[in-house]
Amino acid sequence: MTATTDGSTGAPGPRAAAASEPTDTPPAAPPPGGDISSAAARAAQRSVEYLLSRQDPQGWWKGDLETNVTMDAEDLLLRQFLGTLDEKTSHAAALFIRGEQRDDGTWATFYGGPGELSTTIEAYVALRLAGDRPDDPHMSRAADWIRAQGGIAASRVFTRIWLALFGWWKWEDLPELPPELIYLPLWFPLNIYDFGCWARQTIVPLTIVSAKRPVRPAPFALDELHTDARNPSPPRPLAPARSWDGVFQRLDRMLHRYHQVAPRRLRRAAMNSAARWIVERQENDGCWGGIQPPAVYSVIALHLLGYDLQHPVMRAGLESLDRFTVWRDDGARMIEACQSPVWDTCLATIALADAGLPADHPALVRAADWMLGEEIVKRGDWAVRKPGLPPGGWAFEFHNDNYPDIDDTAEVILALRRVDHPDPAAVEGAIARAGNWTLGMQSKNGAWGAFDADNTSAFPNRLPFCDFGEVIDPPSADVTAHVVEMLAHEGRAHHPRTRRGIEWLLAEQEPSGAWFGRWGVNYVYGTGSVVPALTAAGLPTAHPAIRRAVRWLESVQNDDGGWGEDLRSYRDPATMGQGASTASQTAWALLALLAAGERSGKAVERGVAFLAETQREDGSWDEPHFTGTGFPWDFSINYHLYRQVFPLTALGRYVNGEPFSGKGS
């Protein structure tokens, strides 16, 4: 069965475009008579009907996960490398990539963002593969801009790795990543478990690629992307030897020399060990880590070691990549970096329940059934640092048993508690296992990261190779807040681990009164996560930390009544809380203010009015802005369901009051 772009029907797989993301429907009329409570109730009801219509018959929801065109460009480069690129695929990908180009010739990594060099280079190369000519006006503009920014030599390492696969860059001019890394023990700095799970899943296959240094014949030259084609890779100056950057630059030089003399038997054994590690972590659906980049590099690495395209591991891997494809009405295809059904389903369940849908409503029961079926009961890489901890919890994706995450687990528990399920014993068992696993994943500082405990080594970010975004998984305020909120609702508000989490959150509050948002943009998301958690855990609304947060949110409310924040706040704290109003970010601010007891306040009324006034006739909201975060600033996400579930949650809590108070403390 074919699914819509927001996953409304059918099994996971290629999807046709749907009306779930309308772009030409006018906004709903403003609420008549100024009765904000009535307007909120009407908006909530329309939103409930819209969200219910988007549920898959199996019980899950999934919105498109939009990132940037590097996913599409690298998909074409992979197919070119494997010799499987066809005209239909290149044409459809080129349609999408061209459509994302801006007037200045560049491509950005988020809506309204600045042109980004590596993204623009990869998009340009992909369009060349699709047949666009260097002298085409849109290509000429891109090349001019690329050269003005320093050309290929100034791009990130990952971009130059892709170019090296075709001889457009020299392997010798890339940071070295030896496969012997797989043998480093846990106590040794820079062992593979010092990296975050997403980086670990990417780096291990890339050690094989780095050792093999393959080059496929390039179908064309890229001289037009160099500032000086005769000297495309000018030497980079060394940092001072006593600085960490200088130390790691010199370490990289040593590893380059080691590449020349590495014992063949040791290198062969290391690559085979890395290959076993990769194969052991392939998911049931053929993917790796549930995300596109590790899957792409794993396919390349295994292919270099002799796995042909018909090998079951390779065939399953390539088929999994096809399931990241979103086909649009105009014939264009977009590649998702990941898929988010567990996350979307638990958030949708919370939204519908808080909006007043009966706890035994068939849609909620189906959602709970599906979530229960997605519980992870096997050990994954998290057990390397927590060897005695029994498994439990949920991942983000359809099939990702190796990497449950703490954020999803907390929210799924909160969702299941809102459902009157016909098999309460099954619910209790899953929640007990997941709750104990979550407690056990607490880091030493009292907080929680997303996938691992104590994944805080300072060394991985120093490697010259690691310039592509966040490569470690330290605790964050938003994840910790979701865990604290869940534990409070589970009657564990006074558990010692919960109290340590609360203390950590209070210490992490910014002087402004906000909290940093690791996985959502940014301080609005962090604050919208933390305040409901603290009040659920028993902090009075008069607590100084709560009042500071309220004052900050009120100070950054936009004139239209909404809230917004641009991704630039990750680089420039002076822009925190500033940006065009969006439905999701307005909802996050409202969730905090409502939890702080501000229901009758002017800021809440204006925020609710903004949601009611900008809602479309079909009950949805439009939101082109990116409000999700993969890596702060470096990799941004537009979760297409955020614009639906969070506004509904906020409206529901405004109309019906705060959600259930849990099982006591």
- Domain termination residue (choose one: 292, 309, 335): 335
Summarised one tens digit per residue, pLDDT across range 38-85 is: 999 999 999 999 999 999 999 999 999 999 999 999 999 999 999 999
10-residue averages of pLDDT along the chain (665 residues): 36 33 40 74 98 98 96 97 96 97 97 96 98 97 98 96 96 95 94 94 96 95 93 81 83 90 96 97 90 93 97 95 92 94 98 98 98 96 95 92 94 98 98 98 98 93 79 96 98 97 98 97 98 97 98 98 97 95 98 97 98 97 96 94 98 91 43
Check whether residue 331 and residue 342 sit in a common domain: no
Q: Which residues contact 353 (CB under 8 A, 6 or more apart)?
A: 359, 364, 415, 418, 419, 652, 659
Decide if 36 is inside a domain: no
Helices 477-489 and 496-508 sit at what angle, rounded to 10 degrees? Answer: 140
Instruction: Give the 3-state DSSP-derived string for 45-108, with helices as H, strands as E and coil as C.
Output: HHHHHHHHHCCCCCCCCCCCEECCCHHHHHHHHHHHHHCCCCHHHHHHHHHHHHHHCCCCCCCE
pLDDT given at position 34 = 54
Name which of 434, 403, 316, 412 is nearest 368 in CA terms. 412
288 SS3 class:
strand
Check whether residue 202 and residue 271 sit in a common domain: yes
Per the rule left: phi > 0, alpha: psi between -120 and 50, beta: everything else, 361 is beta
Question: Angle CA(23)–CA(28)–CA(29) in degrees, nearest 5?
Answer: 140
Check whether residue 447 and residue 325 sit in a common domain: no
CATH (domain of 196): 1.50.10.20
Q: What is the total residue count of the chain?
A: 665
Name which of 90, 84, 81, 121 is nearest 219 in CA terms. 81
Check whether residue 322 and residue 351 sit in a common domain: no
- Domain termination residue (choose one: 284, 303, 335): 335
Question: Domain range for residue 483?
Answer: 46-66+338-456+476-656
Supply φ then ψ for residue 563, to 5 degrees.
-125, 150
What is the residue whose two structure tokens read 């349609």? 95
Question: Angle CA(638)–CA(644)–CA(649) in degrees, nearest 5?
Answer: 120
| Element containing residue 326 per DSSP (H, E) | strand 325-327
Residues recognised as catalytic:
407
pLDDT given at position 229 = 83
Check whether residue 302 and residue 359 sit in a common domain: no
What is the residue whose two structure tokens read 């390539």? 318
Distance CA 553, CA 577 (A): 8
Check whether residue 450 and residue 331 sit in a common domain: no
Q: Which residues contact 101 (CB under 8 A, 6 or more apart)?
A: 107, 123, 138, 142
Distance CA 359, CA 381 (A): 35
Q: Are 64 and 336 in contact (CB under 8 A)?
A: yes
Decide if 461 is inside a domain: no
Check whether residue 378 and residue 400 sit in a common domain: yes
- Domain termination residue (choose one: 310, 335, 360): 335
Question: Is beta strand 635-639 parallel, antiparallel or unpaired with respect to 65-66?
Answer: antiparallel
Check whether residue 432 and residue 554 sit in a common domain: yes
What is the per-residue burial (b if ≥16 Cβ within 10 Å, else e) of 591-610? bbbbbbebbeeebbbbbbbb
Distance CA 529, CA 515 (A): 9
**CA–CA distances in Å: residue 500 to residues 82, 385, 448, 489, 496:** 51, 20, 11, 16, 6
Name which of 482, 476, 470, 496 is nearest 412 in CA terms. 482
Name which of 366, 411, 342, 361 is nearest 12 in CA terms. 342
Runs of H (alpha helix) within 567-601: 583-595
| Element containing residue 279 per DSSP (H, E) | helix 264-280
Q: Which two tokens stand for residue 85?
A: 């690129």
Decide if 162 is inside a domain: yes
pLDDT given at position 31 = 43
Amino acid at 507: A
**CA–CA distances in Å: residue 662 to residues 409, 413, 486, 492, 541:** 17, 11, 9, 10, 18
What is the maximum alpha-carbon separation in the chain? 80
Q: 288: which strand partners?
A: 282
Q: Which two tokens stand for residue 161?
A: 């790795």
Decide if 558 is inside a domain: yes
Check whether residue 561 and residue 624 sit in a common domain: yes
Neighbours of 494 (CB within 10 A): 12
Decide if 41 is inside a domain: no
Decide if 418 is inside a domain: yes
Summarised one tens digit per residue, pLDDT across range 132-143 is: 999 999 999 999
Decide if 283 is inside a domain: yes
Name which of 61, 67, 103 is nearest 636 in CA terms. 67
Say what the pTM is.
Answer: 0.92
Distance CA 611, CA 620 (A): 10
* Structural domain count, the chain: 2
Per the rule left: phi > 0, alpha: psi between -120 and 50, beta: everything else, 597 is left
Check whether residue 52 and residue 135 sit in a common domain: no
What is the residue whose two structure tokens read 């779930």? 20
Supply φ then ψ for residue 108, to 5 degrees.
-105, 170
From the number of C-beta atoms within 10 Å of its C-beta (0-12, 13-18, 19+), residue 456 rates as middle
Q: Are 410 and 501 in contact (CB under 8 A)?
A: no
pLDDT given at position 7 = 36
Decide if 663 is inside a domain: no
Check whether residue 80 and residue 62 sit in a common domain: no
pLDDT given at position 234 = 79
Q: Which two tokens stand for residue 185?
A: 């023990």
pLDDT given at position 423 = 97
Check whether residue 316 and residue 387 sit in a common domain: no
Q: Which residues contact 176 (CB under 8 A, 6 or more apart)?
A: 210, 252, 255, 256, 258, 259, 465
Distance CA 479, CA 410 (A): 9
